[in-house]
Amino acid sequence: MILIIMIVGLVVLGILVMILYNGLVGARNEVKNAWSAIDVQLKRRHDLISNLIESVKGYAAHERQTLDEVVRARQQAAAFKGSVEERSKIENALTQSLRSLFALAEAYPDLKANQSFIALQEELASTENKIGFSRQYYNDAAMRYKNRVEMFPGNLIANMFNFQAEAFFQLEETGDRVVPQVKF
């Protein structure tokens, strides 16, 4: 009788470990999937920025420093393959350089009226919204995963199998939390 109770107890414990382990794997994969969605939108953003820069070049050729800054920030962001925290910093630098580009465009009425520039600006705004939604989804998935990794009894299994919580994709500066007003 004691042997049967021990076997049943081990089976129940094994099933519990399996359920917790599979839940952790599923949550980790959800975080990876969410990061992939951000990555797709960031790639789209980088491609749009190249086209935007080409549009501005024709109108503001003597504003080389601002254009070079945006190009450099875009290249760094497009080539970056590091952690979420480092990627956040690189993307925030790119956002700052884009603000400079849009401020520059304000000084050129012909550029502001250019249909291709307007279309690119609208595409970029749409992409920024998609990035925002993707960041939110990623952060939600990272939070669910972090809770599973840190809360009992999942933390026992997480520690046993070396599951680590993922970082949130956050804005660097408090000024970034304010929606910029760009008028053309």
Residue 172 within a domain = yes
Residue 184 within a domain = no
Give pLDDT tens digits for 83-106.
888 888 888 888 888 888 887 777
Number of domains, the chain: 1
Rounded Cα distance between 31 and 20, Å, is 17
Rounded Cα distance between 101 and 125, Å, is 14
- What CATH number is attached to the domain comprising 59? 1.20.1440.20
Region of 179 (left: φ > 0; alpha: ψ -120 to 50; beta: rest) is: beta
pLDDT at 182 over 90: no
Residue 111 within a domain = yes
Residue 26 within a domain = yes
Give pLDDT tens digits for 55-73.
777 776 667 777 888 888 8
181 vs 148, residue with greater confidence: 148
Measure Cα distances from 114 to 56, 117, 149 in Å.
10, 5, 52
pLDDT at 177 over 50: no
Parent domain of 35? 13-177
Please report the pLDDT score of residue 101 as a whole number: 80
Residue 2 within a domain = no
pLDDT at 43 over 80: yes
Looking at residues 123-147, what average pLDDT do you find? 92
Least confident of 125-129, 158-162, 167-171: 167-171
